[in-house]
Structure 1
Amino acid sequence: MTPLAEIIAGRIRATGPITLADYMEICLLHPQYGYYATRDPFGVRGDFTTAPEIHQMFGELCGLALAQAWMDQGRPAPFTLAEPGPGRGTLMADMLRAIRKAPGMTEAAEVALIEASPHLRQVQRDRLGAINHLDGVEDLPGKPLFLVANEFFDALPIRQYQRGPDGWCERMVGLSDDGLRLGLGPVVDLPRDGRPGDVVEECPAAPAIVEAIARRIAVHGGAAILVDYGGWNGYGDTFQALRDHRPEDPLAHPGEADLTAHVDFAPLAAAAIRAGAVASRPIHQGDWLMSLGAGQRAERLAAAGDGGAMTALRRLTHPDEMGHLFKAMAIWPKGAPPVPGFDALRLHADHA
């Protein structure tokens, strides 16, 4: 067992099985042995590679989309330019470079990074210089907010429920002779349809985070772009671990593998609307980037000598790569033009 597995096993022996949400939180954020507290997980030397690490065009296009939204809303100043879960700071660095094309935007921007890991906070300072770190979205100031969240919500702890003959039971992490294992708790009241064997996932923290972001946008102006892999209804077991760029059993090496689950965009959109903002329908990442001119940008970079631009374009946009697995959703104030590339959500539409 890893040191963190021993800690988790001791807790289970003392108080009983724990929820998947508790397990994820311990594995990712334990102050001594947690995944994000002990390593830089990004890039070829880490366990996974995010879109900003693939190529600069991703962050540039995100920044240009926010710049257009900022201009459409009358160039508010000052405003907060924020990113939750900013990794190495690569996306923010690329966005800051891109928004220089909008006169006055860089000067009006007050950068805020929402980061829980002390290790990653230092990595971000080394990359971006003196920046403002926040503990959570509730600490965002009451002013116009322009925000991008890329692969942030997939790492938030989830709870899983499996349909049995007598109803839904929560999937729990317990112990066996061989170590940690998944089992089922007692029947719970879950207002979801399903057949025996079906699994549904819920992320308790995500709607509250989106609601807090959207409420600031509804009141003060701004825009948010959320990019992650996922879908619309939360059905299916998507809990997964990635270690050294390969999938593995999520219970095998606690604290030494990245743990994620697909994002259910339906409750996020509902939370944004509940907060008084407009939410877009989630669209394929590839379609969104191409609508912003990713193809033309890649061609220009390739002509200027960037030998990896066209390969990166395929990886970011092609349906067989990240193009369809990843979705993008935007939030903006009522009465403001849509964020570039997005349309307002119609709740009766089919989002399968």
Structure 2
Amino acid sequence: VQKGNQSSAQEFIFLGFPGNQNLQISLTVVFTTTYILIVTGNVAIIALVMARPHLQKPMYIFLSNLSFLEIWYTTASVPKAIAVLLGKSKTISFVGCILQMYFIFSMGCTEFFLLSVMAYDRYLAICYPLHYSTLMSSTKSAQLVFLCWVSGFLFMIIHNSLVARLSFCGSNVINNFFCSTDSLIFLACSDTSVVKWVGFLMAIIVILGSCLTTLVSYIFIISTILRIPSAQGRQKSFSTCSAHLVVVMMWYGSNIFLYVRYSKENSLEINKIINTLSIIITPLLNPFIYTLRNKEVKEALGKVFRRTIHQVGTSS
């Protein structure tokens, strides 16, 4: 670490998860297995949507983009976390740290926008079923997906550039397994008030803004479903958005805790646990939630599985 008034760290050291070697090995197995399952499960959903013609509609275009996003969201952090746990590479360069933080947070922003768009899509499908194909065409859904990705990555440029300009003249040990904003702010020796206020404002716009869109959409969805006369009709309508609702609650629950406020030293350990939830647990559960709670996806998977079994049986 360089010294001086405008000094800054040339590299950071990840503390990871302190503990004995057995704990590190156990966590390595958990992280590695989880990462493989995340990639496999989300790739399966993308392949399924691309392979089944009846899934080529906006709802599943959004779902496949969410799966694609989850793959890269975890890839930006988990492989490095595994290397830290193995003790092979506990350091990261200053530039690498800023880039990792940018990609993780940009994809996080994109996911907020994408989940709110998916809620809006379900609102149109349930509240305006006769006009849905006009209101949400394939072209419009593609435009919304593109807007989510562009907005997510553009939104983080200002905040990320402010964090990159901070000075780090003290400890360069990050109490986490990836570069997070709260950890870098804690280590900074220069004034962080502007970074904190910009981060808070962005959290309000991205998290609470998208949350409000999602909440309003579901208020209209639920009120519309309750007016459906038959129990079967209500169940069918709710089944089309139940998986998304579960994912939304998991994602918002873990992230609102982290990004609406900045942590002090005594809460960094808690943040690390919540980070683990949002970075590996939620992306792991998403494919299973959509598989188990979505009738069309279950039926499509069943057909693919039966066809595969039949082909194997025929070839043998």
Q: Same fold (TM over 0.5)?
A: no
TM-score by length of structure 1 reads 0.26
The structure whose RCO (Cα within 8 Å, separation 6+) is larger is 2
Q: Which has the higher helix share?
A: 2
The structure in which a higher percent of residues are strand is 1
